[in-house]
Amino acid sequence: MSTESTTFITPDALLAHWQGHRRLTRRVIDAFPDDKLFAFSVGGMRPFGALAMEMVTMAVPMVRGAISGDWTTSTSRETRPKEEVLRLWDGSTKELDSLWPQIPPQRFRETLTAFGQYPGILHDLILYVIDNEVHHRGQGYVYLRALGIEPPPFYER
C-alpha cells in the first residue's frame, strides 16, 4: 500500500498536535490561583495540581521508555508552588521536542509494555497519554468555573 492509503497523521504532525494541547494545559495550570492549585477540587476528586503532576510523570517517561526501554519516572506528584509546576512543564515540553525524533518510526505500530504493566501498540499508548491530559484538563475547566475563573478558550492552541 502507498503511504497515502495507510497514514491518518504523520509523527511530526502528531507531535505538533500534542504540543498544541500542552500549550493550552499550561494556560489552565497558570489560570489557577497558587493557593488553589493543590487545594481545590469538586466532588472529592484530585485537585488540578495533582492532575498536572500526573501528566508530567506520564509524557516524557512514555516517550523515553518507547525509545530506550527505561520506564523509570522519578518526579513525585507532591504539592509544590505553581511556578515549579510550570518550570517542570516547560522542561518536559523541550524534552519531548528533542526525544520525539529519536523514536524509530516503525515502533509506533509495535506492541510494548509501558511502565512494565500497560501493554499496547505504541500509537495507542501515546494517544492515551494525550487523552488523559485532555480528560483531566476538562476537569480543570470545571474547577476554574466553580472558582469563578474564566478558563482559556479550548480551541486556542
Contacts of 12 (CB under 8 A, 6+ apart): none
| Using rule CB under 8 A, residue 154 touches a second copy | yes
| Using rule CB under 8 A, residue 137 touches a second copy | yes
> Is residue 78 within 8 Å of residue 85, measured between CB atoms?
no
CA dist list (Å): 116 to 34, 66, 69, 103: 35, 12, 9, 18
Cell 522542561: give the residue: 91
Binding track, positions 92-121, relative to a second copy; x by CB under 8 A? -------------xx-xx-----------x
**CB closer to a second copy out of 86 and 103:** 103
**CB closer to a second copy out of 87 and 157:** 157
Cell 515540553: give the residue: 93
Residues that bind a second copy (CB under 8 A): 1-11, 13-14, 17, 21, 42-45, 105-106, 108-109, 121, 123-124, 127-128, 131-132, 134-139, 141-147, 154-155
